[in-house]
Amino acid sequence: MLYPQQNDRRNLLNLSGFWDFKLDPDEIGASDGWSMGLDAPRTIAVPGSWNEQFEDAYHYLGMAWYLRDDVYVPSAWQGQRVMLRVGSVNYYAQLWANGQIVGEHVGGHLPFAFDITDHIKWGEANTIAVQVENHLQPNRIPAGNLPSAGGLGGSPLGGGYPSATFDFYPFAGIHRPVILYSVPQAHIEDVTVVTEIEGTTGIVSVTAQQVGDIARGTISLVGDSVVATAELSFADGMAQARLQVPNANLWSMDSPYLYDLVITLQDGGLVVDRYSLEIGIRTIAVRGTQLLLNGEPVYLKGFGRHEDFYASGRGLNQPLIVKDYSLMKWVGANSYRTSHYPYSEEEMRMADREGMLIIDEIPAVSLNFFGSENDVATRLAMCKQQLEELVVRDKNHPSVIMWSVANEPFGGMIARMINPNIPENYNETGHNFLGQLIDLAHHLDATRPATLVGIMGGPAEWLDLADVILINRYYGWYMQTGRIHEGEKGLEQELDSLAEFNKPLIMSEFGADAMAGMHSIPAQVFTEDYQRDLIKMYLDVTAKHDFVIGMHIWNFADFQATQSISRVGGMNLKGVFTRARQPKMAAYLLRERWNSQGQ
C-alpha cells in the first residue's frame, strides 16, 4: 500500500474538497440508485467527520453517501492503470464508479485502493460515490453496543451514549483524502526497506515487488548527493538489493536525517516506472531492560494522543498536525503512541521528519474475549487484518519503533464487571488471542518489538507476551481518588513487582481530568493543580526505577468522548492542553522537567 505520488511516470488527483452528502437511515441508497446522484444533497467537506459538521448528524452512526459527479480523468492518463484510493473511512466503505461497485473495505483508520480503469468514461465527467456505514457492533474492532455493557453503568467503556466500548467519540465518515492516481501498466507495487548499522556503515536492504514482467530496475539512495546505487533483477515480480552507505548519516531523534530512495523499473534505456520514498537509517532493539535506538538507550517522553479537533472531528487536519508537533516539542516530548488506532499517513511522514518515536497501534481497544468461539474468532480475524494492513502501510517509517496490538484488553476487575460469571478459561482465551497477535507482528516484521497495553488489574501473564511492557495506570485517579500520596504507595508497590519481568517498561497512560481554569488549595480532583501534582508524582516515582524507559501522559489534549456521568460535556479532560491547544499547568511542569532534567 504505497503512498501515491506524482512524478514523471505517475499521476495523482486529490479529490478532497466539497462533496454531495446524504444520510441513508433506511439503507435504501444502493437499491435506489444513489450511486449515480443524490436527491437534495447537502455539502460536506472531505476529509472530515460528518458528526462535527452537522449538528443533526452528531449522533448519527448509520449509513451515509458521499458523491461527486464532476470527476474528469485527465486524458493523458489513458493507457495507465487508474486507482481510486481512500486514506480511511470509518467503519465500512463501499466505493462506486459510474454506478458500479468497485470494492469495499472494513475497518477505520487504514487506506484502501481499487483499480477503476475499466469503469472510466474518458472525455466526460465520472461519478464517484462512497457509501459509508458506522454502526457500533459487539464484534467490530473496536466494539460497541456490547450486550452486557450495562454492567459498566455510565462508564465511558460502555453503557455511555453512544454505547462505544471505548473512551473516544466514534466519529464517522471519510476521514482522510480520496485520491485518484495512475500507475504504468507494469509498476512498482510494494517496497520494503530494512536498515542495519555496521560500524559507521549503514546497510540498506530493499525488496521491491512489481506488477508486470519487467526484468530490470535500479535503486539509488540520494542524500546530499547520490550515495549508493544498485541494479535490480526481477524474478517472479520480486527483486532484492543491499546498499552500503559508508559514514552513514543515521536517523535519530536529534538528527532525523532522511535519504531519498529512488526505485525504477527499466525496459532497455526506458524508465517504465519510478517510485521514491524517504528512509532513515537506524536500528531499534530491546536489550535486557533497555530499548536501544542505534545501539543507544532511549527514554520516551510523550503522550497518548487522539486525532480529534473541532469541526474536523477525526478528519485529517494538517495545520493541526504541525501545531501539535510544535507543542509536543515545546514541552520536550520525543514520542507518542497512536492511541487507539493508526494515525494518518501524513502524520507518520511528519514523525519521520521531526524525529518522533512512534508506538503504532491497531484499533484493538478494550477487547473482550466473551461470547462463542465464533465471536472470538471473528474479532481475532479482524485484528489480524488490521495489523497486516498497518504493517504494510507503515513498515518503512524510521519513526515507527514498535507495534502495539491491543490497548487494555479487558481482564481482571473490568472483565468481571461486564460479566460476573467470567468463564473459567477466560484468561487463557485472552492469552491465546493476544499471543497470536504478537506472533503475527513478529512474523510480519522481525525488526521491531511488539507490545500490548495492559489494563490496571489485568492478568500478568498477558503482559509477559510483550517485548516491552506497556501499562496504563490510574493510581490517584480511578483508584485512591483525591489521594495522590496513597496512589503513590500503590504505584511504588506495583513497580516493585513488575521488576520481575526483567523487561523494559513504559507507563503508557497515567493522568487526571482537569477542567482548564479550575484551581484549588489543597489540590482537588478536576483542578489543574491536582493534575499537575499527580503527573509530578508519577514522574518522580518512576524515575527511581531503571527498567522504566518511558512515560506517556494520558493525554496530550482534551478530546471528545461519549456522554457519561464521568465525562463533563462529553469530554475526556485529561489533556495537558485543552482541545483548543491551550496549556494547563501540567504543560509547564513537563516543559520544565523534560527540557532540563531529561525525565
Q: Where does this chain bind ligand BDP (CB under 6 A)?
A: 167, 340, 407-408, 472, 509, 554, 572, 574
Q: Does residue 408 have an active-site annotation?
A: yes
With 0-12 CB in 10 A as exposed, 13-18 as middle and 19+ as buried, what is 544? exposed
**Shortest CB 570 distance to ligand BDP, Å:** 13
Closest to ligand BDP by CB, 128 vs 414, is 414
Q: How far is the CB of 457 from ligand BDP (least distance, A)?
A: 11
Coil, strand, or helix at residue 576? coil
How many angstroms separate the CA atoms of 39 and 20, rounded? 10
| Shortest spacing between CB 473 and ligand BDP, in angstroms | 10
Least distance in angstroms from the C-beta of 303 to ligand BDP: 12
Q: Residue 407 CB, nearest distance to ligand BDP (Å)?
A: 5
Q: Which is nearer to ligand BDP, 133 or 167 (CB)?
A: 167
| Joined grid coordinates for residue 359 | 508506538
Q: Which is nearer to ligand BDP, 304 or 583 (CB)?
A: 304
> Cβ closer to ligand BDP: 129 or 367?
367
107: left (phi over 0), alpha (psi -120 to 50) or beta: left
Tell me whether residue 295 or residue 569 sits nearer to ligand BDP (CB atom): 569
Catalytic residue among 133, 347, 389, 509: 509
Write the DSSP symbol of residue 597: I
Shortest Å distance, C-beta 509 to ligand BDP: 6
State the DSSP H helix or E strand holding residue 229, giving kind and residue range, or none if neither. strand 226-233
The one-letter code for the residue type at 352 is D
Q: How far is the C-alpha of 219 from the C-alpha of 197, rounded, in Å?
A: 19
Question: Mind giving me the DSSP string for 130-193?
Answer: EEEE----TTSSS-B--TTGGGGTT-TTSSSBS-BSSSS----EE-S-EEEEEE-SSEEEEEEE
HSE at residue 451, side-chain half, CA atoms within 13 A, is 31
Per the residue annotation, which of 361, 389, 408, 488 is the catalytic one? 408
What are 97's strand-pairing partners? 100, 128
Give me the least distance between CB of 572 and ligand BDP, in Å please.
5
Cis peptide before 426 (omega within 30 of 0): no
Please state, in angstroms and rounded to a whole number, the distance separating the CA atoms of residues 507 and 317. 28
Least distance to ligand BDP from the beta carbon of 49, Å? 18
CA 394 – CA 482 distance, rounded (Å): 41
Amino acid identity for residue 246 in this structure: P
Give yes or no for a contact between 378 and 370, defined as CB atoms under 8 angstroms apart: no
Whether 428 is a known active-site residue: answer no
Count of alpha carbons within 13 Å of 506, Cβ hemisphere only?
A: 32
**CB nearer to ligand BDP: pick between 389 and 509:** 509
The residue sitting closest to ligand BDP, measured at its beta carbon, is 167
- Cβ–Cβ contacts within 10 Å for residue 499, how many? 14
Q: Give whichever of 96 and 341 is closer to ligand BDP, judged by the CB atom.
A: 341
Sign of the alpha-carbon dihedral angle for 327, 332, 338, 340: negative
Distance CA 217, CA 274 (A): 9
Q: Between 167 and 324, whose beta carbon lies closer to ligand BDP?
A: 167
Largest Cα–Cα separation, the chain: 77
> Among all residues, which ones are annotated catalytic?
408, 509
